[in-house]
Structure 1
C-alpha cells in the first residue's frame, strides 16, 4: 500500500467580489420619494371627493389666474350679460345670460350710476325739507332706474357664484329686496349658530362694492325657521335672528360698505316664514337685505325722527 506521507494537499479558493458597497441606503431615499408621491396622490383624490362642485370651480379659477373677487369677472360684462325680467311690483327678478356683444352695456350703466350719485343726495335733502324742484314722477322714475341697474349687477354675481338657489331678487314698492337663504346643499349659518360660513361670507363681500355705487340706505333683517330652543328664556330665535343680521352687517362692512349706509338692523325670529307648510324648511332661514328707495328712507326718518327733530312727544308731556 502506497504511503500518503508525501501527498500534496491542494486548497482551492474561489474569488468572490465584495458586496459591501452595494448595500447602501440610496434605495431608502427612492422608496421614501415614492411613498411621498403616493401619499400626495391619495390626498388629492380625497380632497376631490370631499369638495363641492362650486369649490372646484373656485379652485380652477384661481389656478387659471382668474378670481371671482378681483371685480373684473363680475362687472366688466365680458362673460355674460344678464337680462332681468320684471312683471310688475312684487315680482321676482329672474336672471338669464346671453352671449355679450361687448362691454359697452356695463360701461354705460356705470356712467349712469355715477351721474345718479351726484344728484341722489340733493334729492334726499329736498325730500327731507318737504319740497322738490322736479315732479314726483321724475324722482320715482330715476330711483326705479337706479334699482334696476343695481339688480343687473347683482344678477351678474348670482350667475358667477351659481347661487340661483341661495340669492334671489324681488322688486317691491320700498326698493329692491335681496333674499339670501339656505338650501339643501348650502347653509349660511350652522344650526343654532351666528357664525357665517365662508361661501356666504365671500358672497356678501362681493355684494359690498355694488351697494357702494348708490347712496341708497340699506336695511338688514334676520329670519330663522320655527325650531325651538330648549331654554327659550335664555336664548331663542329672536336672539339668533338678530345676531345673524348683525353678522351680515359686519360682513358687508368688511367688504367695504360704510357703516352709516345701514339704516336699520331687524330681528324677525320665526314670525315671517316663507314656507308656512314646512316651518323647518331651509328657505325660512334667511337674511333679507333691502336697498331702500329715497322715499322709503324718508318715511323711516319721519317715523323715528330725523336726528330727533320730528320725534312725537309723549302723551304724558302733552297732558302736563
Structure 2
C-alpha cells in the first residue's frame, strides 16, 4: 500500500468531531430530565399542602386524603393544625371565663350602689341598670344641680365622692358620663342651648369623680346629649323631670356576641 493511501486512512479514522454535538445533546437531555423531575416534585408538594388543608378541616376522623401522600413526610403539619385548634378552643374558653367574671364584678358593684341608695334614702333620685353593654348609674338632675345650672350642689358632692370610691374597684373600665335635659329650650345668659347645659353638667360631675386620684382620667369621657335621648316622652312635668339626668356608664369589655377576644386584656 502506498504511503498516500495509508495517510488518508489514518486521517479518516482520527476524525471524531461528531463527539462535540453528541455531548451537547446529552447535556440538554440531562437538563430536561432534571427540570421535569423538579416540576413533578413541586406538584407533589402542592398536593400535600392541599391534603393538609383538608385534614385540618376534617379532624373528627380519618379522611380519604390521609393515605394519599405521594412523598413520605413527618406529622409536623398535622401536629401544628391540632395545636392551632386547641389554641382557638382555649381562647374561647378563656373568653367565656372573662365574660362570667365580668358579670360577677358588675353585679357586685350594682349591689353596692343599690345598698348605698337604700341606706341614704335616694331611691327617687338614683337608679342602676345592668344590661349586655354596660352598668348604668342614673342620677336625677335635682340631686345634683339647681335649675338651669351645671355647678354641682355642695351637698351633692358627697354623692359623687361615694360613687367614685366604688368605681375605683374597677379601674380598667371605660366610663362615659352623659348629661341629658328635657325638651324645654333653655333661656338664660349662661347657656345658649340644652346641648351646652347637658355637656357642661356631664363635665362638671366628671371632674368631681376625678378628684379621686385612684381613677384614671384617660378612661373617662363626658358627653352631652341635650334633649335627644329621653327616657320617656316630655308630655308632662313628671316625665320631663325623669329626662333631666346624668348617667355614669361602665362599658363592658367582653360581650356574649364578641367574635374577637382582646388577648392583651385577657392576659391582664
Q: Normalised by the shorter chain, which TM-score bucket?
A: 0.5 to 0.7
Deviations 1:220-249 (A, max 9, x none): 1100111113489x7100011000000111
Q: Which residue of 2 aligns with 1:210?
A: 166
**Taking structure 2 as the reference length, what is the TM-score of the superposition?**
0.55
Q: Which residue of 2 aligns with 1:138?
A: 97
Indicate conservation of the 8 Å contact 2:210/2:217, yes or no: no
Q: Which residue, 203, 217, 231 being the options, matches 1:246?
A: 203
| RCO comparison, higher one (Cα < 8 Å, 6+) | 2
Moved over 6 A (4+): none
**Taking structure 1 as the reference length, what is the TM-score of the superposition?**
0.47
Alpha carbons of structure 1 residues 290 and 189: separation in structure 2 relative to 1, 3 Å: same
Q: How many residues align?
A: 164
Larger Rg: 2
- For residue 259 of structure 1, report the CA deviation from its aligned partner: 3.7
RMSD: 2.6
Alpha carbons of structure 1 residues 248 and 262: separation in structure 2 relative to 1, 3 Å: farther
Q: Which residue of 2 aligns with 1:36?
A: none
Deviations 1:248-291 (A, max 9, x none): 11110124452435332211000011230436521211000001
Q: Which residue of 1 aligns with 2:235?
A: 278
Q: Output the CA distance in 2 between the equivalents of 1:219 and 1:294.
A: 13
- For residue 178 of structure 1, report the CA deviation from its aligned partner: 0.6
SS in 1 for 2:160: helix
Deviations 1:193-219 (A, max 9, x none): 111112322101011111011122211
Q: Which residue, 117, 133, 146 being the options, matches 1:158?
A: 117
Alpha carbons of structure 1 residues 135 and 262: separation in structure 2 relative to 1, 3 Å: closer
Q: Output the CA distance in 1 between the equivalents of 2:107 and 2:211.
A: 25
Alpha carbons of structure 1 residues 140 and 172: separation in structure 2 relative to 1, 3 Å: same
Indicate conservation of the 8 Å contact 2:117/2:126, yes or no: yes
Deviations 1:110-137 (A, max 9, x none): xxxxxxxxxxxxxxxxxxxxx9474322
Alpha carbons of structure 1 residues 278 and 257: separation in structure 2 relative to 1, 3 Å: farther
5+ long unaligned stretches in structure 1: 1-130, 300-320
Deviations 1:278-316 (A, max 9, x none): 3652121100000111137xx9xxxxxxxxxxxxxxxxx
Q: Which residue of 1 aligns with 2:247?
A: 288
Q: Output the CA distance in 2 between the equivalents of 1:270 and 1:231.
A: 17
Indicate conservation of the 8 Å contact 1:208/1:256, yes or no: no
Alpha carbons of structure 1 residues 141 and 285: separation in structure 2 relative to 1, 3 Å: same
Pick the structure with more helix per residue. Answer: 2
Alpha carbons of structure 1 residues 137 and 198: separation in structure 2 relative to 1, 3 Å: same
5+ long unaligned stretches in structure 2: 1-89, 259-268
